[in-house]
Amino acid sequence: MANTPAPAPADTDLEAMLARALGKAAPEAAAPVEVDPATQRCGYVAIVGKPNVGKSTLLNALVGQKVSITSRKAQTTRHRITGIRTVAASQFIFVDTPGFQTRHGNALNRSLNKTVLGAVADVDLILFVVEAGHFNLADAKVLSLLPPNVPVVLLANKLDQVHRRGELAPWLRSMQERHPFAEFVPMSAKAPKDIERLFGICEKYLPQQPWIHDPEDLTDRSERFMAAEMVREKLFRLTGDELPYTSTVVIDRFEEEGQLRRIAATIVVEREGHKGMVIGDKGEKLKRIGTEARVELEKLWGGKVFLELWVKVRSGWADDDARVRSFGYE
């Protein structure tokens, strides 16, 4: 019987790293205690990757509440979304970014890419999110933009969709050849234990300094901004692939009366035909968008919401730099 050759040292190291990464236990949740400011850590962690790789789902899981919208449609995230989570003595300021755009060159996409580059320029750690076992030209484009002086964690998301874990070791070897990653974290953003484990991994990269935000804060975005984002999420989810990604939402009025919030918003589309898609038969689609957004906002804020929606056509807005800025894009 022929002897099975021993794995090469490099392979052995990779297998050991994979075993450690998959086997680390989640830290125990610490009871709230008074934290000495001298022991506090606080830093910025950018979440980057190509479109639709799970960045917003990851951010929401890390914060423990929805602060970034999600849908199956690419280019759902369009802004720099900041999520805040304070764990024991450490405050994590997570920055979700749009997926870097390589297929379209209009004004909107130039704005999105500018947001990505701005987010990674001045952070303490970068989480580079890819699908476990996969890497393509879109991933490579994002990786090429990362600054060389910031540590990068390779976050292999959607691990639950990998059927043969043994294939991850050679994939990891190929990834290490592409970039000197500081850590390798295979995980699923939908697994609470994986999320808790990630806090422990990121913590050591945060500088020792006082917290920037109140420990109860979850985002630095305004309620007005969150209202527009929630309507846009329901718009994309309920229209599917029929509606072009260039549709957007503008808040026309936002008023607070005690626990009641009155909001008027306009859904902006590029063509008359798109307007019909959004309104639907006898206005049913628009009504459902409004209802689902209202329910989500009431859950988010813990109060009643009165939401009015209109639909307007603004042809070519995504190719107009001035109009892109007027709609709130950086």
Q: Please check whether residue 254 is in contact with residue 265, taking contact to mean a CB–CB distance below 8 angstroms.
A: no
CA nearest 191: which of 24, 6, 9? 24
Is 50 annotated as ligand-binding? yes
Is 53 annotated as ligand-binding? yes
Is 122 annotated as ligand-binding? no
DSSP string across 11-36: HHHHHHHHHHHHHPPPPPPPPP-PPP
Q: How far apart are CA 262 and CA 307, in angstroms?
A: 6
Is 55 annotated as ligand-binding? yes
Amino acid in position 290: G
CA nearest 42: which of 79, 109, 6, 94? 94
Q: Please check whether residue 266 is in contact with residue 249, taking contact to mean a CB–CB distance below 8 angstroms.
A: yes
Is 190 annotated as ligand-binding? no
Q: Please check whether residue 18 is in contact with residue 169, taking contact to mean a CB–CB distance below 8 angstroms.
A: yes
Instruction: Read off the DSSP letter of residue 241.
Output: T
Is 135 annotated as ligand-binding? no
Is 51 annotated as ligand-binding? yes
- Helix locations, 121-222, DSSP H: 137-144, 168-178, 192-203
Is 49 annotated as ligand-binding? yes
Is 210 annotated as ligand-binding? no
Is 240 annotated as ligand-binding? no
Question: Helix, strand, or coil here: 138?
Answer: helix
Q: How far apart are CA 263 and CA 254, in angstroms?
A: 5
Is 157 annotated as ligand-binding? yes
Is 36 annotated as ligand-binding? no
Amino acid in position 52: N
Is 327 annotated as ligand-binding? no
Is 160 annotated as ligand-binding? yes
Is 23 annotated as ligand-binding? no
How much is the CA Rg of the chain, to the nearest whole Å? 22
CA nearest 267: which of 210, 302, 228, 294? 228
Residues making up the annotated binding site for GTP are 49-56, 96-100, 157-160
The binding site consists of: 49-56, 96-100, 157-160
